Amino acid sequence: MPELPEVETIVRELNQQILRLKITEAILIRADMLKRTGADQRSLAAALDGCAFDYVERFGKYLLFHLDSGGKMLAHLGMTGKFVYCRADHPLDKHLCSQVFFANGWRLDHIDVRRFGRLELYDQGEEIPTLTQLGVDPLSSSFNGKALKPLIYARNGKKRRQRAIHTLLLDQSLLAGVGNIYASEALFLAGIQPEKSAARLKTADLKRLAAGLREILQSALEYGGTTVSDFRRVDDKPGNFRDRLYVYDRTGEACRRCQTPIQRVRVGGRSVFFCPKCQK
DNA sequence: CTTGTGCCCTGCCAGC
DNA sequence: TGCTGGCAGGGCACAA
């Protein structure tokens, strides 16, 4: 599942490979992937044909493609989405959702098995509400323990949140880009039990949690992201961070720090992994 | 406002 | 062997 490091990996690769290439044709194959009202099968071609991408940006787990027309294409990869840049005659994937053909004889495929992902088109100057609602980005320079305070205090006032800290880490309006894998990993690095109520966290816990988030996201990025099953880079190759995970998907395996078997629990309907000895 | 639930969708796997 | 049911999950709509 593409989270912050995986999306950042893709964005960097796209910026190296597809900028300023003239788009000869864009085809929407799965019309239901284009989510905004009024969008139909022809909308993608209408927005992209004859243009070129100026640059691609990441906001949390979203990719924002800037067109030289001033228009923008917002993409989310959901659970199983990927962008693959390949020669125009490369075989078609069974789960192809859209294609962008370039004048250099290559194409960019958007492929998504479960179709939890989405594309949205925006005109020049149009506001993108999806992005303005996102919380702080854990790789931004200003990110620290203080930036995590919205996780433990309700939006208006001093009332403390009672929910499990793991659940709050997944809330994109509080913290943008963290998903199930890195929430588990960061809580391990911070030594915090994932079911612990946010109300019981202290300033020192938030400081360790912020440091843990930065560390795990930064190192995952250096390894091109984590592939559990579906994530692929733009060249269709997997990321290399899976072997370095501390707890995620390691039920029963030895903790890398104390050898205690890693446990799996359900928190807020999600599978969460932790070391019962290292995390309190 | 907060919090919880079910839905979207397909591949995979256990069980018969 | 081949079918079936359950499970997985990010984001969103909706309910309480």
- State pLDDT tens for residues A105-164: 999 999 999 999 999 999 999 999 999 999 999 999 989 999 999 998 887 667 889 899
A154 touches strand B (CB under 7 A): yes
Q: Which residues of A are catalytic?
A: 2-3, 61, 270
pLDDT digits (tens, 9 = 90+) for A78-104: 999 999 999 999 999 999 999 999 999
Q: How far is CA A82 from CA A97, A146, A192, A233, in A?
A: 10, 34, 32, 7
- For every residue of chain A, which 3-state class applies, written as one string? CCCHHHHHHHHHHHHHHCECCCEEEEEECCHHHECCCCCCCCHHHHHHCCCCEEEEEEECCEEEEEECCCCEEEEECCCCEEEEEEECCCCCCCCEEEEEEECCCEEEEEEECCCCCEEEEECCCCCCHHHHCCCECCCCCCCCHHHHHHHHECCCCCCECCCEHHHHHCCCCCECCCCHHHHHHHHHHHCCCCCCEHHHCCHHHHHHHHHHHHHHHHHHHHCCCCCCCCCCCCCCCCCCCHHHCCCCCCCCCECCCCCCECEEEEECCEEEEECCCCCC
Has residue A231 got a pLDDT over 80?
Answer: no
The pTM (predicted TM-score) of the whole model is: 0.94
- Please give the pLDDT value at position A218: 95
Question: What's the pLDDT score for residue A97?
Answer: 95
Give A102 CA → B7 C1' in Å: 37
Measured from the CB, is A180 under 7 Å from any atom of strand C? Answer: yes
With a 7 Å cutoff on the CB, does A71 touch strand C?
A: no
The confidence band for A234, taking pLDDT boundaries of 50, 70 and 90, is confident
Q: Tell me, what's the pLDDT at A157?
A: 62
Average pLDDT estimate for A249-258: 91
What's the pLDDT band for A228 if we cut at 50, 70, 90?
Answer: confident
The Cα A100–Cα A125 span in angstroms is 23
